[in-house]
Amino acid sequence: MLTGKNILLGISGGIAAYKTPHLVRLLKKSGADVQVMATDSALKFVSELSLATVSNRSVLTDIFTADTEGERTRHISLGEWADALVIAPATANTLAKLAGGLCDDMLSISLITLRPGKPVLLVPAMDGYMYDSPSVQRNLSVLKQQGCRVLEPESGPLASGQCGLGRMPEPETIFEALAEMLAAPEPSALSGKTVVVTAGPTREKIDGVRYLSNYSSGKMGFAIAAEAARRGATVHLVSGPVTLPTPPGVQRHDAESAVEMLEAARPLFADCDLFIGAAAVADYRPETPVEGKIKKHDAEMELRLVRNPDILAEFSTNRKPGQLAVGFALETAGGIDYARRKLTDKKLDLVAFNIYDGTTSGFEVDTNVLTLLDRDGAITELPLLSKEEAAERLLDAIELLLPR
């Protein structure tokens, strides 16, 4: 399964380190070449001799291991040699060093010298209170934003005598996760294409401290952008004001209002193959925003609204042959006829219809229920899915519409 793959295995100082010789054996049995790197603390839990024996390689600890020619730059050459990096167990201390860019031993420097695009699998293992601490979660968030995959710990008996979250998954589970990451992806019709995705809400200024907006979290649009990038597309994500991290491999363009979002997206129109309007763009904005803060008066206040530009319609109306336009249609009940009209009126190739129920579908939640209507009249009803899974199914449908 992993024949010919070169794996860097980093082991840090947690009790779960005793499981790592079995992980090395699984990797070797599958045809991989394994180079073990261990911290000094790790070697208090598992012997250097056992790791060297099962890997058939010396265990690396220090950056400068010898004066032999070539040894002084081994930390650089390993980054070129490796096809993947696994760190198991990854302790709180190791995660902090990796997130902070510190590199004072072979394990910590491996993340920095690994060539871009090569997969990194982190396997945290520690007491549950440590794992849930704000500092550990912050460091994990930073590493995820850098493209690392985190294999979450399991629940069970811990070395502290307590029982709860924090156990390192078994070597078989770690092996399967790594094998999945290294598996050759299915050829995608989006590979080499340029995709523009809008996401999140817009904020339409009333005065210096107030605005009109909606409940969009941007999760659906960000999931679409992440999945398109995973399929090999060049992805531009034009986002309203959200707090989500930028998906790996995605170029992000931030905007506040609908007008600003159009200004950010318009330069991308000409060179894209696919435009997906997943943003919840406000239909109206205050005609005359006020500088400073509007003071409260006894009389009622009137707010005059004017129409915002329609970003998706502008792209679709002026697009070049071969470019695809995809939109979303959200209603609070029923409304599939509205989605059909939107498909026709805006000359779209596909529209994803969903109902906002505030619980399982629509804004601010992690799941969605989509009905896909395409230009040929086909209707595909998807079940309740995570937004990541819904993004996969949506892009599957879009790929069928791409010019061959």
Would you state the structure tokens that stand for residue 199, as one six-digit string? 């996401």
Q: Is 283 annotated as a binding residue?
A: yes
Q: Is 89 annotated as a binding residue?
A: no
Choosing from 214, 308, 318, 354, the catalytic residue is 214
Instruction: Return d(Cα 82, Cα 100) in angstroms, integer.
Output: 22
In 13-91, which ranges are E strands? 33-38, 84-90
Burial, 192: exposed, middle or buried (Cβ in 10 Å; 0-12, 13-18, 19+)? exposed
Q: Annotate 147-180 with DSSP letters as a single string.
A: T-EE-PPEEEE-TTS-EEEEEPPPHHHHHHHHHH
Q: Is 27 annotated as a binding residue?
A: no
Would you state the structure tokens that stand for residue 121, as one six-digit string? 């699998």
Instruction: Return d(Cα 10, Cα 46) in angstroms, integer.
Output: 13
Q: Is 113 left (phi over 0), alpha (psi -120 to 50) or beta?
A: alpha
Q: Is 293 annotated as a binding residue?
A: yes
Would you state the structure tokens that stand for residue 154, as one six-digit string? 């399991």
Q: Is 320 annotated as a binding residue?
A: no
Active site (annotated) includes residue 214:
yes
Q: Is 372 annotated as a binding residue?
A: no
Using alpha carbons, list the distances in angstroms from residue 125 to 148, 170, 235, 325.
Answer: 16, 11, 34, 45
Q: Is 111 annotated as a binding residue?
A: no
Instruction: Return d(Cα 306, Cα 309) in angstroms, integer.
Output: 10
Using alpha carbons, list the distances in angstroms from residue 277 to 85, 145, 236, 300, 317.
Answer: 36, 24, 12, 36, 14
Q: Is 396 annotated as a binding residue?
A: no
Q: Is 205 annotated as a binding residue?
A: no
Burial, 202: exposed, middle or buried (Cβ in 10 Å; 0-12, 13-18, 19+)? buried
- Amino acid identity, residue 92? A
In 174-249, which ranges are E strands? 194-199, 204-205, 211-212, 234-239
Known binding site for CTP: residues? 283, 293, 309-312, 328, 342, 346
Q: Active-site residue numbers? A: 214
Known binding site: residues? 283, 293, 309-312, 328, 342, 346
